[in-house]
């Protein structure tokens, strides 16, 4: 089992996903995938915020947000690294998970939220497309359309009600709760977990080696 901060050690930046941090996390998950001593990863944020999304200081001032996603440093590449990771990820959502941070939370297989957690896609308001598909797999198409198109924020209680998270605990207990969940998952053999995780990633029937 391994614990990974959702956005490195950038609590002063609300754990914003800079290009350097996205590359660092993609590399870290590549190493975790190759390490057979790790069967489950706990993903959380430094400080009191899970992740506030992309680091907007890296965008130009033209207002053309969409063009940022066509560069070699494409945030979708980072999300692909998480989305193809073949071991379970338990998300300890310790606070607000907004925009790209909401997307990171949706890449987790099990999400446990602190009572201070907030979820939302405010980036739609300034022209950034939202990642609808992964969210729709979790909460269903109707609710995902609502959240992806309106950009409205929901609290931990609503997240639990719609099935976005599996439990809500006091903020001080979130890491302990997520670690307990990860330990329960890790009781299964790694090979079995990987078979299930690959099926989750591909939305395909189980395929045994």
Which residues are the active-site residues?
Answer: 123
User: Any idea what the Cα angle at residue 30 is, between residues 71 and 166, rounded to 5°?
Assistant: 95
* Token digits of residue 140: 């269903």
Among candidates 85, 80, 104, which has minimal Cα distance to 35? 85
Among candidates 106, 52, 90, which has minimal Cα distance to 176? 90
User: Please, are residues 197 and 191 in contact by the beta-carbon 8 Å criterion?
Assistant: no
């Amino acid at each position: 089992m391994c614990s990974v901060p959702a956005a490195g050690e950038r609590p002063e930046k609300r754990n914003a996903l800079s290009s350097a941090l996205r590359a660092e996390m993609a590399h870290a998950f590549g190493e975790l995938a190759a390490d057979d001593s790790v069967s489950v990863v706990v993903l959380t944020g430094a400080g009191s915020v899970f992740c506030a999304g992309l680091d907007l200081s890296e965008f130009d001032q033209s207002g053309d947000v969409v063009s940022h996603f066509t560069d070699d440093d494409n945030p979708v590449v980072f999300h692909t690294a998480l989305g193809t990771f073949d071991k379970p990820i338990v998300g300890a959502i310790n606070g607000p998970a907004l925009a790209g941070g909401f997307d990171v939370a949706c890449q987790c297989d099990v999400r446990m939220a602190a009572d201070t957690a907030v979820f939302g896609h405010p980036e739609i308001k300034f022209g950034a497309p939202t990642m609808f598909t992964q969210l729709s797999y979790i909460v269903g198409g109707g609710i995902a359309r609502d959240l992806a198109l309106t950009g409205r924020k929901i609290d931990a209680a609503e997240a639990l009600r719609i099935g976005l998270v599996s439990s809500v605990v006091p903020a001080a207990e979130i890491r302990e709760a997520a670690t307990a969940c990860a330990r329960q998952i890790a009781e299964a053999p790694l090979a079995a977990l990987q078979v299930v995780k690959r099926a989750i990633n591909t939305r395909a029937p189980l395929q045994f080696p």
